Amino acid sequence: MEFRDFLRKLDEEIISIPTSIPKVVKKSIIRRIEIKNNPISIYLDDGTKIALTYYEYRRIKNEPKVGKTMTVVFQRNPTDKTPMPSKIESIKVD
């Protein structure tokens, strides 16, 4: 009977684990675009640097230009302040 209780409790704990990936949304003005380098680099006003392949750059909604506002959604924990790169979920230029 103890083993069944253990399994029941384990099931309840597993169900309570969050499965969604945390996201961070950055919205800022484009300050510089280095399109001739590989990877293509986009620098935002808030200090964010985005590195993209040519094909990722081509998928951006609307054309990125200096002075326009860019919204980037990263898969990252909002409390993570490390300089490690994050996976980019979507990019949109307003």
Q: In the chain, what are the domains?
A: 21-93 (2.40.50)
pLDDT at 17 over 70: no
pLDDT in tens, 47-89: 889 999 999 899 888 889 999 999 999 888 778 777 777 888 8
75: β partners = 23, 87
Name, of 13-17, 36-40, 65-69, the range with top average pLDDT: 65-69
CA neighbours within 13 Å on the CB side: how many for 27? Answer: 3
DSSP E strands, the chain: 23-34, 40-44, 49-52, 69-75, 87-93
34 close to 49: Cβ distance less than 8 angstroms: no
Q: pTM of this prediction?
A: 0.73
